[in-house]
Amino acid sequence: MTNEIKEDHEKLREVLDKTLHRFKNNLQTQLSLMNIQTSTNRSYFDDKKVIVDRVFALTHVYDLYYRSSKGESLSEDSSVSLQSFMLQFFQYLQTSTPKIDFDLIEIAEVNVDVDNLLLLSYILVEINDFRKNLDDTLTIEISRKDNKVLFKFSFSSIENHENFHELFEDQYKIFDLMVMQLKGKFDYKKKFVRLSFPIL
């Protein structure tokens, strides 16, 4: 019995150490994003909203991460349910931005690493800023194909999304870096832009 308590205690300490380490890295990413936007002259339609949204994404991820780490056995895994996070985050975005429609297709079983989920939410924040810039309606669809997550988005005022990159070229640096970090890639189709990235 004593050994079990000791093992649980050690495991709990390991999880806390890991969480603190991860959290500091995530804060570093937030700071880096702010500094990169200055160094690349990325100007946002609404600077304050972008930063607030990133902070809320971080909070939502850690809420879920904390809850999933409280299971009966402490998990070594650092992934979080994509569906739970997206439902929570879209709900949050829609309270201030009703012009976002979203559809989650069969992703109930998909878990994504906390760091990657944060990057995905920051990409979403960037896309939302493009939408505001266009004063447009944004439609997003998230699905899974094999070992990849597909993240499709389209703007109602853009007729051909193959031109999406040219349209926002000057503001693309942060977007590109985040996609590189996700090991993902963009496909520009007429009706939508698709970001695909691998999951475990």
Partner 1 sequence: MKTKVLVVEDDKLVSYEIKSILDNNGFDVDICDSYSCCIKNLDTFKPELILLDIDLHKKYEGIQIGSYLNSKVNIPFIYITGYTDVETLKRIQTTKPVGYLSKPFREIDIINNIELALYNKKASLDNNKKSEEQPEERKYSKPIKRALEYIDTNINQEIKTDELIRVSGWSKFHFIREFAKEVGMTPYQYIFDEKMKLASSKLKNTYQTVKEIAFDLGYTSNSSFTNAFVKHSGLSPSNFRKKYCR
Whole-Å CA distances, 91 to 8, 97, 114:
36, 10, 19
**Helices and strands (DSSP H and E) totals, the chain:** 6, 7
CB of 112 to partner 1, least distance (A): 17
Nearer to partner 1, 28 or 96 (CB): 28
24 lines the binding site for partner 1 (CB under 8 A):
yes
Return the residue of 22, 42, 54, 194 that touches partner 1, per CB under 8 A. Answer: 22
Whole-Å CA distances, 183 to 53, 173, 180, 199:
23, 15, 5, 10
Task: Provide the β-strand partners of residue 112.
Answer: 80
CB of 24 to partner 1, least distance (A): 4
Q: Please work out the total of residues on this chain that contact partner 1, with binding judged by CB under 8 A.
A: 23
CB of 22 to partner 1, least distance (A): 7
Residue 183 neighbours by CB distance under 10 Å: 9
* Per-residue contact flags (x/-) with partner 1 for residues 160 to 189, judged by CB under 8 A: --------------x--xx-xx--------
